Amino acid sequence: MVRAAVLIACSLMAPLAMADTSTFRQALDAARNDDWETLSRMESALDDNHPLEAYLEFHRIRVGLPELPPEKIQAYAETYSDSPLPGDVVDMAIVAYGKAKRWDALLTVSETAPREVALQCYYYQAKLANNDESALQEAARLWAHGSSRPNACDPLFDAARQAGVIDDKAIWERQRLAFEAGNYSLMRYLNRLLEGSDYETAGNWLKKLYRSPDSLSDLPRGLSGEQKEMLREAGLFRWIYTDTIAARKWFEKQATQITNDDARESLGRRLAWYSTIRGIEENRAWLDQWLESHSDVELLSQRARRAVIEQNWEATAHWIRKLPAEEQADSRWRYWLSRALEATGEEDTARELLQQAAKGRNFFAFLAADRLGEPYRFSDAPYSATVDFKAPKAVNRIVLLQELEEDTAAHREWLWLLWHSDREQQRALADYALKKQWYSLAVEASIQSKSWDTLAWRFPPAYRAQFEKEGVENDLDPWLAMSVSRRESAFNPRARSGVGASGLMQLMPATARQVAKEANQERPTQAMLFDQNVNIGLGTRYLAELLEQFNGNRLLALAAYNAGPHRIDNWLEEEDDKAVPADVWVESIPFRETRDYVQAVLTYRVLFIGLHDDQPRTAQLMTDMESESRYSLSMLE
């Protein structure tokens, strides 16, 4: 595979004399629509060896499969080896050859097992067709999973079952995996496969335990000892989730019935986890005793967090001090230990800890700096080039793809280039992207090169004019909206989440439509949400509406932006005498994603202002109203 040392050495191709973007657009659209006559006509008007020729050839390969010989696939991969497209073509060929049962052709284009499960199933079918019996063991490995597998795997699994490699025990063990994954439909399917086998009764009981885990003490005598052991483990696993208190009582009295030491330890940890994150006071004595004898960093962190939420400062100090030294050195725990010691009268030590915490560049470091009345420390490290940068050919493709509004393809080209570059080359590419105002690509390059202290790449003032314009129109701080965009999409206008959130500010289509309707604006289409101006306009308006709904409190509004406004009421105490300070409320947000989100956006805003606005680097994290308020439902009145 071509390495970046070669790519970077290739000088940027001569200017394309403004290659006819419109002509290539027509050619690409024709290729996608299998209009080969138009494609041939458009290609004749393009320069020979057009930088994006690989994208047209891709569609010729696509339409030619599965009849194309594998040598054509190999030739394509060799010709366009500095592009991500050969990998796509090989994957496409594996599927096409697999469906056509052209096993020798498949193995020619894929000498090693692919990563994707469906492709692996085709690959091992090809191996099996060539009398490679090791494919059956790979089938058993792919089978052992708690989720449904692609349809492409069915012939491979059938072969493994016929050969006895996937036997009744393997079916039962997969049913247990489906049980633990909460996949009841897969459990039922697998249970039918066990009819008439020695595992039929165990399979039926596994289904019963999923619905009624408290039945684990009523297992019938006809089961083998091994089956009973596995069912007890499964039932307790489920019971801990459905009724943590009852499960703890059973575990305290009957734990010896779980004879496997590793299983008993794992179930104890699961019980401790749910007892902690759910704040179950009735389990507290058992939990604390368990934690004293287990050095589990994640659980100790959660227990310390629970003590913070309850404002039990003695317990907070105790559990933080149980953490490893490197964990205690984190700004978050130094901050909370300082708060605990201050509350218990150790003010000098508390101040020392605050000073140490304030040396960081994160939410809790900035909180510490605010409590000390000190400026924030950014630890910025400006970039200094060590070698002259010569842009590789891939950059030409990225430029043209952006002109064609093929932003997803441009982003993939950029990622491929970064993955095939060493760190210094990645840093050079980050600097190049920033100069070209390719904001999302600069951020991506900063991540790939781990340039955490080169803040210019990580926090560029992307689309600043548009954010400022919409900020004026919606009476909204543009830096806050920009920070939301940075957190949501890293400034990628074409970003789209698995649930459909789209664009710079990751708007859900239904939310965008509602906001547009209230503003008497055009109903936005999916394509419109990928337009930076439309997305910023609707996103800033929605953020402004949330701020109005939550009386200007950005902590509440940001939590609502991430998790939905309907959840905020449930995250605030009903009674004023149980109201908590701002920092404790942020730590108490039940969803880790939302806790991190609120902290990140406010931290990013501080960084944007400190880097790009002429304001002092102090007292920017929270307003006086936000930091001095006590958080309860009365805030929303």
Return the active site residues. 488
Q: Using an 8 Å Cβ cutoff, are 352 and 334 in contact? A: no
Q: Residues with Cβ < 8 Å from 272, sequence gap 6 or more?
A: 287, 290, 291, 294, 296, 299
CA distance 515 to 512: 5
Beta bridge partner(s), residue 418: none
Are 82 and 50 spatial neighbours (Cβ–Cβ below 8 Å)? no
Q: How far apart (Å, rounded) are the C-alpha atoms in residues 29 and 196?
A: 56
- What does the DSSP assignment read for 111-126? SS--SSHHHHHHHHHH
**Could you give the C-alpha distances from 529 to 137, 477, 560, in angstroms and in order?**
47, 22, 20
Q: Which residues contact 635 (CB under 8 A, 6 or more apart)?
A: 550, 551, 553, 556, 572, 629
Query: Which tokens hold the place of 564?
Result: 């939905």
Residue carrying structure tokens 């708007």: 507
Residues 6+ apart with CB under 8 A from 622: 370, 554, 555, 582, 602
Residue 316: CB atoms within 10 A of its CB come to 26
**Which amino acid belongs to residue 78?**
E
CB atoms within 10 A of CB 157: 18
Would you call 403 exposed, middle or buried from its count of C-beta atoms within 10 A (0-12, 13-18, 19+)? middle
Phi, psi of 505 (to 5 degrees): -105, 15
Identity of the amino acid at 510: A
Q: Quick check: 192 and 161 in contact, CB under 8 A?
A: no
How many angstroms separate the first and last alpha carbons of the chain? 63
- Structure tokens of 587? 């730590």
Torsion sign across C-alpha atoms 390, 396, 401, 403: positive
Please state, in angstroms and as integers, the Cα–Cα distance from residue 148 to each residue in 181, 439, 511, following that order: 11, 39, 32
Using alpha carbons only, give the angle 215, 218, 224 rounded to the nearest 5 degrees.
115
Number of helices and strands in the chain (H, E) = 37, 0
**Coil, helix or strand for 292?**
helix
Q: Are 126 and 98 in contact (CB under 8 A)?
A: yes
Of 150, 162, 193, residue with least CA distance to 142: 150
Distance between CA atoms of 203 and 150, rounded to whole angstroms? Answer: 23
Contacting residues for 5 by C-beta, under 8 A, at least 6 apart: 422, 425
Which amino acid makes up residue 29? Answer: D
Is the Cβ–Cβ distance between 66 and 99 less than 8 Å?
Answer: yes
d(CA 587, CA 311): 11
DSSP three-state, residue 461: coil
